[in-house]
Amino acid sequence: MIWRFIRNVRLGIKTLMLHKMRSMLTMLGMVFGVGAVIAMLAVGEGASREALDQIRKLGSQNIIINSQKPVEQAAAGAMNVRMNIYGLLYDDLSRIEQSYETVHRVVPAKLLRGQGRVLGRTLELRLVGTSPDWFDLVARELIAGRRMSQRDLDENSSVVVLTEHGARRLLAGQQTLGAQVLINSGYYTVIGVVKSEESQSSTMQTPDQNIDAYIPINVAIERFGDISVTRSSGSRSRELVELHQLIVQVDSIDHVESTAAAIDRMLELNHPKKDYSMSVPLALLRQAEATQRTFNIVLGSIAGISLLIGGIGIMNIMLASVTERTKEIGIRRAIGAKRKQIVGQFLIETVVLSVTGGLIGIGIGILIPWLITMFAQMPTAVTMWSVMLSVVISVGIGIVFGMYPAMRAANLDPIVALRHE
């Protein structure tokens, strides 16, 4: 049985090779269709994975709350209002910690502007006054030294953790750990360097930036207070913001969305001007995953049209082949060939065409994403399931679109076929 099948496959290939150009042109539909399926899904998968990775780095059990200037105050700011008071309060931190059993911990952050200076080199920094738990909730790779500790907070230590970008700009060619950095009017000892990853997405803001410098929050409050001065278009305005950010870690992923809703209701009661914004990475993650599924379905459907066209092309060519080989079919039937043998022979030829085109298309579909990543710097990801799907579709199209020509060939009357010229 197996040897007979192999013999039929060889016969099918030999028959197709008699018309090389026609066979190649027939396969083009499958080649481009399969290549388009794999390449389009790879581009969509790469973009989705990048977005999902950025969201996961924020922590699926975290809730990020940021101070936000109310619209009316933003408009008043253009009128040179001397003092803007808004944002999260120290009381909000206490209420969230004490009111919700599902809250595991809350990490506060004060975000301030300062200028770092080392031996004539300067860099504008964003000072992040926070607690040691920050580095647990916003996971960033430690490159050198150590992170802040509870002892640094308890002793009001003037220590700083720089990002890799800040360390290169300020401490190039010098020993990093233990170096003294002048930030505004105070000196800080560098105890560590972390790798910072800044989001490229306009719909999602990561808690850190490349120019961050992390210092104990009590040191930030003691040296900088709660009032900051901002400059815009030559005018100066003063802002009083107690806390710029709170990162709330929930004890279980199942409680994240309900806890976020409860915290939002509590904040609404104490912030009638809506001077805060809330981001829930878990909700963003689920939305991104749903968008990815929809995107893949759309891309797959578009590419599937190419496969459909390729299948129709195969069917047309095989119908033409039936007409050309009518006399051959009549001879085979006359010497005893059964209808199922005629059907099998034509099906084998169509499957060989579609599978060969599919395999070439797989190669092109893998090559195109690689070229896109190399030259356009766009993330792509060829998945095994997309390759397997393409193979299955290739075989399926060969069978489906080859069945009608095969049945038509098998149903020819042997006597009429023998008389065909």
Q: Is 59 left (phi over 0), alpha (psi -120 to 50) or beta?
A: left
**Does 235 score more than 60 pLDDT?**
no
Residue 204 contacts by C-beta under 8 Å, 6 or more apart in sequence? Answer: 54, 55, 58, 279, 284
Cα→Cα distances 42→39, 274, 392, Å: 5, 41, 18
* Model confidence pLDDT, tens digit, residues 31-63: 888 888 888 888 878 877 777 777 777 777 899
**Does 159 score more than 90 pLDDT?**
yes
Q: DSSP for 142-207, please give it.
A: EEEE----HHHHHTT--EEEEEHHHHHHHHTTS--TT-EEEETTEEEEEEEEE-------TT---S
User: What is the helix (H) or strand (E) element at residue 292, kind and residue range?
Assistant: helix 281-324
Backbone φ and ψ for 248, nearest 5 degrees, come out as -100, 125
pLDDT band with cut points at 50, 70 and 90 for residue 204: very low
* Model confidence pLDDT, tens digit, residues 396-407: 877 787 787 778
Go through 185-212 and write b for each residue having 16 or more CB atoms within 10 A of its CB, e for each that does not.
eeebebbbbbebbebeeeebebbbbebb
**Does 338 score more than 80 pLDDT?**
no
What does the alpha-carbon distance between residue 316 and residue 402 come to, in Å, rounded to a whole number?
9
Cα→Cα distances 199→135, 188, 205, 389, Å: 17, 28, 6, 33
Q: Which residues pair with 187 in a beta bridge?
A: 182
Indicate the pTM of the whole model: 0.65
**Does 209 score more than 80 pLDDT?**
no
